[in-house]
Every structure is written in C-alpha cells, then in structure tokens.
Structure 1
Amino acid sequence: MPSLRCIECDSTFSDQEILYVCPSCDGLLEVAYTAGEVEERLDIDEMKSGVLGVWKYRAFLPCDERVSIAEGGTPLYKTDRLADWVGVDELYIKNEGGNPTGSFKDRGMTVGVSKALEMGLSRVGCASTGNTSAALSIYGAKAGIDAIVLLPAGKVAMGKVAQALMHGANVISIKDNFDRALELVRQACNEKDIYLLNSVNPVRLEGQKTIGYEAVEQLGWEVPDRMFLPVGNAGNISAIHKGLREWRQHGIIEELPKMCGIQSEGSKPFVKAIKNNQKKITPEGEPETLATAIRIGNPVNGPKALNAVYDTGGTAESVSDQEIVEAQKKLARLEGIGVEPASASSVAGLKKLVDNGEVEPDEKIVCVTTGHLLKDSEEIIEVCKPPKEVEANLQTVLNHI
C-alpha cells in the first residue's frame, strides 16, 4: 500500500489514516509509492495504448477505481494561430474544459471519492471558488454519498453553483472569502467525520497529476520545454510536477518541463514569493480578480508549488484582468477554444514572458486551460458586446451585417 509522507519532516503514515497535514510538524503530505508497488501495477503496454483517461495510470494512483464518469482524455490542441499572436513557434493547449463537469477538478475527484469509498466513508466536503464544488457534487452523487460545500457568498460564478445545486449537494454560502471558507470546512470535516476533498488532501492531487501524463503522451512521449498553469490553491502545478517526477524516477521520461505558474495581479501571493526567491508564501488578505477560480490569497499548496518551480528552473508571473480577457478572446476567436477567465491566465502569462524576453520563441510550450467557457457566463456578458436588437425585417438585418 502507498503511504503518506510529510514534505517537511519526512515522517510517513498509513494512507488509510484520514490525514491532510503532518500531525508532527503541520507540513503538507504527499502520497508516496515504493518501486515495487508501482512495478506490480504498471502495465506499459496499456499505458502506451493510446486510450486516454485517468485510470489507465493506475500504477501511479493510490486506490482502485470505484467511481468514474469518463474523466480525463481531454484534448491537446496544436494552436498555430494563437502561437503567432503569443510569439512562439510551437504552442499546445491542454483543454481541461473537456472533462465531464467542465474542469480539471474531475481528475482529482474520481480518485478522492474512490478513496473515500475505499475507507467506508459516506460524506465528502470542500470549500470552493466553484469548480471544486461542481466536481465534488457530481462525483458524490454518482457514488451515492453526501456532499457538503462551503462557498464565499457572491464570489462564485453561477454556472458552478448551479452544478452543485442540481446534483444535490448541501451548499452553504458564507459571508467571507474563500480562504475563510476553507478554514471553516476543515474544522467542520474534523467535527463531523466528513472526508475533506480540497487540494490540501494529497490523495486528490494524485488524480490531477494525470494532466501531465496525458500531455506527454499526446506529444508522442516527448516532454515540453515548459508547462504554464493558472495558480489558485496551487494544486495543479504541484501535482503535475510530482507526477512527472515519478515518471522520471521510473525511467519513463528523462527530463522535466519548466513549471510556470500564473496569477492575477489582484491575487498574486505565489508570484511575489517566486520573484523574491522566498521559501514561504505570505498570504494576501483581500484577493480580487474577475478570474474567480484563482481568487485565492493563501494557496494551501504553496510549499509544493514553490518546489515545483525551483526544482525545474521555472518561473511565475502575474497578469492584469485586461490581459486575461484579451487572452480569453484570442483563444476563442483564433482557435475556437472557449475557456473561463482563470484558464486564459496561462496564455496571458506566456505572452507576457515572451514579450519580456524571458521565454524563447523556439521553446515547445503547453498551456493548461482549466475550465470551460460556460463556467462563468456572467463574465462573458460583461466583457463582450451584447447582441444587437433590431426590427424583424430583412433590410434592417442586412444593414447590420
């Protein structure tokens, strides 16, 4: 069986214990596998079969499949027109909006809820800026267990709230921000025997690392020079780095991509830490950005994410909301890829770093876009021209064409 290992003090614990941080030093935990455990489960022929999906990488996952809705297998688009606009030769978009609930969170929830079932638990919970709540609610419904969600009131796109409500979650809105919601749900989970499935839970991140696995496979088993990711709670950048590090340890790949994290200028504690070469993140009290999915002032996976950047020689950058919207529109109008604002930050950050000379034009780049356009339809109405309303006759219509 895999174990839980503290990234700070190296203490290890059984993966059957419900732990989110180290009881010895309060450090973050990660799932650790022995070489024998991986080799016993690894089927190279299956892994290289070309059929995509989270559970084909089961040798690198901490439990067996128990609840699945065909998550993973998202497209990797080669985007030549977008590459021209950004200023690079070779740009790929790994579009996680193709998952069942429209975001990458499904990868983590299929593993997290499967683990909850393995341990005989009947309730799961989370705090959320939206996408986590949608995924938790849907996988909880599929598994037949209760889902409890805390949201910051008025700070979550309605498309995401609608998903949680329709799938029967107990949705509670608090009059504060996401960081406070996470504090409260962690306390409530401890009090009420609820399995917490925010990204502080290392089991959930194991599912998310398969984004990196798929991207490498879709590139013909070639590792890109860089991967760009939006950073909110910093789970994705941490998970992908861990997964590809494990593949390197087992000889599946030889190199790691430079991990690059992008935040909004109104919510950039991670970026500040990287630019100041710090080992710890200083939380921001009042994060604000139209990119609601990354409106987080205290990234719970900050230490793991800092390590991902430092270990690979990557970087971090912040972009304005205006730059995010511009990238969002370019994705849609040059490549037909519709994403929510937070997703577009990865492309916006890449363009900024290319313009500043920090990324070379001949590098092979993968940008991860994390959620579907319709996750935040209110934002679309705000940033795009509304439809023209005209009289219902042909000449009037022709005059407006």
Structure 2
Amino acid sequence: MQLHCIDCDSRYSISDFKYACSCGGLLEIEQDFKFLDSEYLKRKFEQRLSDRMTPYASGVWRYKELIFPELEDRFLITKNEGNTGLYDIERVNQYVGIKKIWLKSQSENPSGSFKDNGMVVAVSHGKSLGLDKFTCTSTGNTSSSLAMYSSLTNSQSYVFVPDKNISLNKVLQTISYGAKVIAFEGTYDQGIDFLEKYSGELGLYICNSINPFRIEGQKSIIYEIAQYLRWELPDWIVVPGGALSNVSALGKGLGDLYELGFINRLPRVAVVQAEGASPFHQMISKNKNELQPELQPKTVASALNIGNPPSWKKARNTLNATNGITVSVTDDEILNAKAVIDQSGIGCEPASASTVAGLKKLCESGQIHRDETAVCILTGNLLKDTEVLRQYHLECTENSLFANPLIKSKLNIESIKHL
C-alpha cells in the first residue's frame, strides 16, 4: 500500500501519512492486487457472512484484504457496521418508473449513516498510529459516526459544526456520544480549511473525507452490494452528492472489483445534488474543468448543504471511468421521494431521498432508460432530521404530495369507524 496523489502522480509510503500531497492535491490509497486470487477471496467473503463474534463479522472488515490488508488485527475496531439491507420495493419502482430498483439502506449502520463504513477504518488507522484525539468538520453524519467510534475506543473527538443549516438531531447525537462540539460561524467548507491548517498544531487526526482511509472503508458499500447480488451489478449506481466522498469511494471500489475480475463490466454512476447546493452538477453539466464553489449553499437536505466539496476531483474521475452523469433536484422533489421511501417501510433522511428523486428525473428525461436497473444509496436514518418530518407532514403544503397528517378524533367507536 502507498499514498498516490491524483494531481501530480507523486507517491508516498503510508508510514509517512499525510492528508494532501506537497502539490496540494488529494491523496488516495494505492494497492497492488496482482497476487490476489479473486475466486479464493469470494469464498472467504462468503464464509465470513456466518461469522458473529470476530471483527470479520463487520460488513467492512469482511473485505479487509481489499481495504487495509496491512493493519494488524489488534487494531481492528468494529461495531458490526455494514451488513445493511438491500431492498427491492415495488412501490418505489412504480414511483420512479424503472424496471428494477434496489435501495441500499446505509441508515441501518450503528450510528445511522453510511459514514460508519469509512469512519471505522479511519479511526482504526489513527489508533494504529498511537493517536487518541480525532476531529472532523461536519454537517451531522460524520460527526456522530466519529463521536461513536472515538468513545468506543476511549478516545476524545473534537467536532466542528456550522451554527446554521444543520440538523439538531445529528448534533444532539454527537453530543450524546461525548464529543466536544464546537459550533462556529461559517460554512462546512471553512471548517475543513481550518482543520487542514491547524490540525497538526492541535494534535488532532482528521477523519473527514480528505483522509484516504475514510475512502477505503466506504468502498465496502459497493463490495457488499456486489456480493449480495452474486457479483452481478445493475446498470446504474445512484449516489447523493454532498462532500462527494461516497461517489469517490464507490468509484474506487468499482475499479477494484473490475480489476480483480469480480465483475465483468462497470455500472454507470449517477450523482444527485440538491439545486441549492449543486456546484459539482453545474461544473459537469456545463463541461467546465474547475469547480466553482457555491458560497451560500442552501437545501433542506442538510447533508448535501456543501458548496465546495473537497472530493470533487476524485468524483470526476469516477464519472469519467464509468461514463457517469449528474443531475440536480429541488427540495420538493427530495421530500416527496423521501415520503415514498418512508411509507414503503424503509425510511431515510432527506439527502438519501435525493437518489430516488434524481433517478425519477433521469428516467423522465430519457437519460436513463426505463428498462434498466439501478441501486440507490440511502445514506442516513429516518430520524436524523425530525424537523423536516414535522414540517412535511404536520405543516403540509400543496407541494407535500404524500403528507400523512395527524388525525384528531374523539375516542369513541362511532368516530373511529368513520376514519
């Protein structure tokens, strides 16, 4: 394993760990898979599905040979992350209008979001370096995941959150896990800049997506989808686009599986952003070479409320490798898709629902054919943002197409009969 700069092609030993290249470019983990036997690994991954009492019961460490083979087992942290459901729901199929759609419900992770897949690897790496002070800037899900794993390992986490346009539920979850939470005036992007400048001086190990070990852990999401589907992936993988770490990770995981011969073709990747926070979509749709940050991003989907996503170059590489596309959706489209997902018995936070909303929009525009198949990644739990639920169902407007308001009734048999 070594660190590879995606900009200047420089390489570094992982023992000389850093978050960015000397040229300023993002680093990624580079592994040599040429001595790995894919058929042997398939059998091993299958055997580990029956494991219950070791770290390999994890839906991340099940794939340790592809994620962090050099990490000693004594540093493997786990809370049985991964192992999340893959659901085929007819109601969602009909809403989108596509042949087959699966929902990968990352909300079933222990802290309630996909961040656990990457965070468990980042914190394990930090502990292997002898560190016990971890940090991140977050709009919510990253912070709660980091706080959970830090407390699990008797370490301290320092979390920086913008003081506006974030979910209080996620902040309360983070506080409850014991993190020191610093609410600052400014945006997510400014928080990232601060940590890049001062984390070393403060003695803090960064666990945001600029950390390449986060990306390695998040690759496991695509490994798990592929294994559940017997190594036959659908035509499309649809992903929400906030910081774009998930797009980067899933793209890297797809490349691994293809290189190793686990799959014989690459599915296409569709990245969905909210219209109020869509700098990546704007760049791609206008065929620009550089991302123009949105200084005041604003969307009801707080996890997508990022105007300068740090992983945009890696995400662009994913689109190039998979002939991928982007789309943006309105807040109303997100909330109505969310209501359909919630009422199908799965449930998700607003950012998650952007995938179903985006897939529906791409099908209606003809960019995705209705005879194709897709997996939509649902990134966070239904209860991550209860204020959105209250507004949609209890203060329902004409745009709340699937609102399910409270029914006020007298408690007698005749009143109840007529409901």
TM-score (norm 2): 0.91
Match for residue 361 of structure 1? 370
> What secondary structure sits across from 2:370 in the alignment?
coil
Cα pair 1:327 1:345 within 8 Å, conserved = yes
**Of the candidates 46, 49, 70, which is equivalent to residue 48 of structure 1?**
46
Cα pair 1:133 1:164 within 8 Å, conserved = yes
Partner letter of residue 100 of structure 1? P
Q: Deviations over 1:8-30 (max 9, x none)?
A: 1111111123311111x111110
Aligned mates of 1:154, 1:277 — CA distance in 2: 32
**1:221 CA displacement:** 1.0
**Of the candidates 251, 265, 268, which is equivalent to residue 255 of structure 1?**
265
Structure 1 position 388 matched with structure 2 position 387: no
Match for residue 30 of structure 1? 28
**1:307 CA displacement:** 1.1
Cα pair 1:87 1:351 within 8 Å, conserved = yes
Cα pair 2:165 2:298 within 8 Å, conserved = no
Cα pair 1:128 1:178 within 8 Å, conserved = yes
The runs of 5 or more residues in structure 1 that have no matched partner are none
Cα pair 2:48 2:62 within 8 Å, conserved = no
**Of the candidates 335, 348, 358, which is equivalent to residue 349 of structure 1?**
358
Alignment of 1:302-321 (within 5 A): 302-321=312-331
1:389–1:188 CA distance, 2 compared to 1 (3 A): farther
**1:247 CA displacement:** 1.6
**1:243 CA displacement:** 1.1
Match for residue 304 of structure 2? 294
Runs in 1 of length 4+ with deviation above 6 angstroms? none
Match for residue 401 of structure 2? none
Match for residue 57 of structure 1? 63
The runs of 5 or more residues in structure 2 that have no matched partner are 50-57, 395-404
- Root-mean-square deviation (Å): 1.7
Cα pair 1:16 1:119 within 8 Å, conserved = no
**1:38 CA displacement:** 5.0
Percent identity over the alignment is 38
Cα pair 2:296 2:307 within 8 Å, conserved = yes
Match for residue 398 of structure 2? none
Cα pair 1:151 1:173 within 8 Å, conserved = yes
For these two proteins, the number of residue pairs brought into alignment is 396
**Of the candidates 120, 125, 128, which is equivalent to residue 110 of structure 1?**
120
Aligned mates of 1:39, 1:20 — CA distance in 2: 31
Match for residue 21 of structure 1? 20
**Of the candidates 292, 295, 298, which is equivalent to residue 285 of structure 1?**
295
**Of the candidates 120, 125, 150, which is equivalent to residue 130 of structure 2?**
120
Aligned mates of 1:393, 1:252 — CA distance in 2: 61
Partner letter of residue 31 of structure 2? Y
Match for residue 6 of structure 1? 5
Partner letter of residue 45 of structure 1? R
Aligned mates of 2:237, 2:65 — CA distance in 1: 23
**1:345 CA displacement:** 0.1
Partner letter of residue 16 of structure 1? S
Which stretch of structure 1 is more off in the superposition, 345-354 or 215-224? 215-224
**1:277 CA displacement:** 2.0
Cα pair 2:276 2:299 within 8 Å, conserved = yes
Partner letter of residue 377 of structure 2? V
Aligned mates of 1:27, 1:276 — CA distance in 2: 23
Aligned mates of 1:74, 1:298 — CA distance in 2: 29
Aligned mates of 2:240, 2:5 — CA distance in 1: 25
Match for residue 193 of structure 1? 203
**1:105 CA displacement:** 0.3
Match for residue 175 of structure 1? 185
Aligned mates of 1:148, 1:262 — CA distance in 2: 30
**Of the candidates 166, 171, 181, which is equivalent to residue 161 of structure 1?**
171
Match for residue 221 of structure 1? 231
